Amino acid sequence: MPTPEVRRHLSARDIDDVRALVDAAHASDATSPLSDHVMLHLPGGGDADVRHLLVRTGQLVGYAHLDVTDQVTGSSAELVVHPSARGQGIGRALVEELLRQTPDGRLRLWAHGKTPAAERLATALGFTQLRSLWQMRMPLTSALPVVDLPDGMTVRTFVVGQDEKDWTELNNRAFADHPDQGGWSLREIEVREAEPWFDPAGFFLAYRDDRLVGFHWTKVHGDPATHLRHSHEGTDEHQHEHHPVGEVYVIGIDPAEQGRGLGPLLTTIGLRHLQSRGLPEVILYVDEGNTNAVRIYERLGFSRASTDVCFHRQLA
C-alpha cells in the first residue's frame, strides 16, 4: 500500500488529477465526494493551512483534504477513492494519515451520501457520528405562494463591488455558531463571485428600514450557458445532473429578526426566481437537527433525498 504523500499546495497536474478522480467517483456514486468549499479553492492549489494527501499507483487513486484552521471545533477532512481502487485499504490509509496530520487530535470527517462503506471505515477507526446534513428536493412545477412584503421592508438583488462587506458581516452574525458558514472573510464571497455559476440576479437582500436583515442566495447547477463545473457545505455538487437544477444555496437572517417570518418569505422569493428561469427542480441542504427549518421546507413541498454525515474523533 503506497504511503499517502502530504502536500501544502497542489500543482497544476495535481489539480487536474483530483478533478478527474472526483468526476470518476461522482459518476459512480451519483454524489460528489468533496464539498463546495474544497472544489472552489482547488484551482489555486488550495488554501493556506490545508494539507493535501495523495495516493498514486500510476494514476491518482486517493485524495484527502484536511483543513486545520478551525480552533473551536477541530480540523475537518474529506476524502475520495477511485471506484476501481476501493476495497484495497486506500481509504483507511488516508484516514490514518489524516489523524497523524491533525494538530490537536480532534478531527471531523465528512462522508457525502452516507454510504455503508464510509460508515464502516469511520466506525472501525473510532469515529462517532456528529452531524447529519440532509439534501432536500422539491419540484418547481406547482404554484408558489404570493410574496407580500411587510411595511418597512424592501428586497433587492446583490450589487457586486458594493454589498460584499455588509453581506459578510450579516452572514457571520447569522451563522456565528455554525462550523462551516460562519467566520467568513471577504475572500469567501470574492472567490464565489469569480465562479461561472455566480449570478447576482439570484442573490436577494432584505432590508428593514434601510438595515440589511436577511438574504437568500440561490444557485443554478448544470446551466449549459455557464459550462458549470462545480463540486457541497457542505457538501454539494451536481456536475452530473441530467438537467439544470436550482439550489437554495444560503439563507441568512439577522438574529434580531428571528421569529418574524423573514425566513419563509425570503425562501419563497428565491424559489419564485428559480421557477421563473424554467428550472424543473430545486435542492437545498439543511442540518437534520434544525427542525424548525426542516418543517418550513417540508411545508413548502421539499422532501429528503440523501444524507451527508459528519463523523468525529478525539484522540486521547
> What confidence tens digit (pLDDT) does each residue in 230-289 have?
333 333 444 334 578 999 999 999 999 988 889 999 999 999 999 999 999 999 999 998
Going by C-alpha positions, the residue among 38, 83, 93 that lies closest to residue 65 is 38
3-state helix, strand, coil in the chain (%, to 5): 30, 30, 40
Measured CA to CA, the distance from residue 80 to residue 87 in angstroms comes to 13
Query: Residue 238 is inside which H or E element, if any?
Result: none
pLDDT surpassing 70 at residue 316: no
Q: Which three cell numbers stand for residue 185?
A: 472573510
Contact 204, 5 (CB under 8 A): no
Q: Select 5-126's CATH number: 3.40.630.30, 3.40.630.40, 3.20.20.120, 3.40.630.10.
A: 3.40.630.30
Q: In the structure grid, which three cell numbers stand for residue 226, read together?
A: 455557464
Residue 307: burial class (beta carbons within 10 Å; 0-12, 13-18, 19+): middle
Q: What is the pLDDT of residue 294?
A: 92
Residue 222 or residue 54, greater confidence: 54
- Supply the DSSP symbol for 79: E
C-alpha cell at 316: 486521547
Q: What is the pLDDT of residue 234?
A: 38
For the cut 80, the answer to whether the pLDDT of residue 224 exceeds it is no
In this prediction, residue 71 carries a pLDDT of: 61
- Please state, in angstroms and rounded to a whole number, the distance separating the CA atoms of residues 56 and 17: 10
Residues forming beta bridges with residue 56, ordered by sequence position: 60
The pLDDT of residue 214: 97
Q: What mean pLDDT comes out for the span 4-17?
A: 95
Asked if residue 44 has pLDDT above 90, the reply is no
Confidence of residue 2 (pLDDT cuts 50, 70, 90): confident
CA distance 40 to 29: 21
- Name the one residue in this structure whose C-alpha cell is 413541498: 301
Q: How does residue 90 score in pLDDT terms, banded at 50, 70 and 90?
A: very high
pLDDT above 70: percentage of residues in the chain: 91
pTM given for the model: 0.76
Of 41-50, 122-131, 192-201, the least confident:
41-50
Residue 225 reports pLDDT greater than 80: no
- On the question of pLDDT at 99 being above 70, the answer is yes
CATH H-level, domain 137-305: superfamily: Gcn5-related N-acetyltransferase (GNAT) (3.40.630.30)
Domain boundaries, the chain: 5-126, 137-305
Say yes or no: do domains 5-126 and 137-305 share a fold. yes
Rounded to an integer, the average pLDDT of 205-211 is 95
Contact of 192 with 218, CB cutoff 8 Å:
no
- Distance, CA of 233 to chain centre: 2
pLDDT score of 30: 82
User: Residue 288 belongs to what H/E stretch?
Assistant: none
Alpha-carbon span 273 to 261, nearest angstrom: 19
Among 24-33, 70-79, 266-275, which is the least confidently predicted range?
A: 70-79
Mean pLDDT of the chain: 88
Under 8 Å between Cβ of 235 and 35? yes
Here the cell at position 188 is: 469567501
